[in-house]
Structure 1
Amino acid sequence: MLSDSVSQWDRCTFENHLQICYHYEYLETLSEVLEKIPKIGILTEEQNSYCAEVKRYLEKIDGDIATTYKLKFRPQKFLAALDEIYEKFDEDREPTESFLKRAVMKFLLELSRFGQDIQNSDEAEEGCSTRLFCAFAEMCCMHSEISLDKGDCTIWKNFKGMTEVTSLPDIRLYSYGIKTTKTATSKSQFPVSVVEVKKSVEKQFGESELLDALTERLESTDLSSSISSLASSDDSSGKPPIEEYLKNSKSLGQHAGQLLLELHKCHKDYKNCPILTMSGMIIDGTKVFFTVLEMKKKHLNKLENNEELDEDDQALIYYSQPFDLIYSDERSIFIDNIMRLNNIEL
């Protein structure tokens, strides 16, 4: 049976009771995941220009100096790279908006704290990963809202015979935008993405133990071609499903519940949308999975009315392979795609 809190949901239970399944393999690119959202615009010229500036400031930070393993044992290059970026802020004479610089500085501060957390305690705590991701999202012009207590819960009343079911995502992301006018800066009424931060299971600090297979391949490949090589290599044809990365069915059940409850909250008043979507992310240290729940309106209506589901009622959660905020190529992809969340029309 399903629990009255999605934090207790496991994968098999929600798949059997709600007919919501994770796709059998990851989609090739983050863009493919986001294209599942029917009303999401491409980046504007202004957004592209902003993203290019952010990438320019962060180009000195890359996987050759700052994997989790290297942050633990060889922090000197990482700290030197941060110092070089800080110096660039003082030397840069290009007309960069001050709020962009502040956003980049905040991300650098949280990245430095993240590195210190790893050095001091052998692993980054969830709170440190949460702050790091929030700073990254805000650098991409999203408003991040961290859940603090029960008052931040999303509630679905009269769900599957229960009085109510609750969900408390770690972070909700809202559209914010680049411009600083009152209209542009007011956050949207509903979140455009819900985020779960999971504690990394990596505890032993040996080179072969800590760096997972994906990271090892990235470090042994030229970074400029790492993403394309992953997509084209012979052994990538299997496209491992998300559980092979997370190894935690409960995390998948919890995240599915979060997506479902936020979808119910956001789309309950939409009458003319046959296909509904809710985007999300799962954070594992500095690695991020993009996710999108895609569900037919009539499927959601049946759940709302406690009606029996038939074989046509099948919802899917699509997801990307994990991308790492540390690697320059992967971070650049993230910056573009998180910025693009500002262009979702609810």
Structure 2
Amino acid sequence: MELGIGMFGDLTFDKQTQKFQSNSQKFQELIEQVKLADETGIDVFALGEHHRPDYAVSTPEIVLSALSTVTKNIKLASGVSVISSADPVKLYQDFATIDLISNQRAEIIAGRGSFIESFPLFGYDLKDYNELFEEKLDLLLKVNQNENLSWEGKLRTPLQNQTVYPRAERELPVWIAVGGTPESVLRAAKLGLPIIFAIIGGMPKQFKPLIDFYKENYKVYGHDVNKMQVGVHSHTFLMDSDEELLENYFPYYESQMNRIGKSRGWAPYTKMQFQGGMDPEGALFMGEPNKVIDKMISTIEMFGLTRFVAHIDVGGPTHKEMMKAIELYGTKVLPEVRKALA
């Protein structure tokens, strides 16, 4: 069982100046935060890709490369790499390089992403949304598995007897991230790839049929069940008490939900929604440590997970608050979760 954290590099918004913090400041803070995560025994760090003014990270591979030099044990993953609008060959080269620098700690978590800014930015047509993902995933897996490669698809020029350099000294772990569509779940099961579900709303138990669907089809397609890996990625934050979290962290979360919701036609986010998510049946792993411990254990056991990733920077809380949340997660929550699961 692996217990990790995830971030998107949310920029802290200063209500007085009405400006986001600088990207340079955020990167320095992020390096300190992941160093602490490594020191407290957190297993995995996953970093997302976005191309928006409220997120600092558009190139997870470059940031992960920097992090590889200041950490020792923590796995360094994208979370996600939007492969539909990326070049799979270049993506492999980048992560092979990180893997070589980090002593085999790099992982690719591939997904479609929940934002579409990267498509026009890199010259892709949204009408090819599904086909781009399938074709580029196929190429990424082929490059990962074959030192010398000939490959042909519909949406890029073919490769003829090519070797991609540098080569990682192992086959890189490639996970598939899904939001809840059966087609995506079935694709991962057919390919025998590890899967991670983004559960950020509603009730986690609603995902049980999809997770069971993955496990059943993983077996149907002849893959070794001993190698099956299933993860969940959920919004998480820790403070010393629920009251402190509602007073100090909720405004960050509310602001981010409303920023995203404004472009998607959502109703304004409410404290009642937030508190509902914090309930035992809700999708937010937030509050004081004991409450989060119980919820994590319950969720891990319900789904039979091999990985849980706590996404902890939604809304851009301050560096001090992030460091405290990571400390509580690494020193208070994880030991108790591991003890219970053992």
Q: State the TM bucket, normalised to the shorter chain.
A: under 0.3
Which structure has more relative contact order (CA 8 Å, sep 6+)? It is 1
TM-score of the aligned structures, taking structure 1 as reference length: 0.27
Tell me the TM-score normalized by structure 2: 0.27
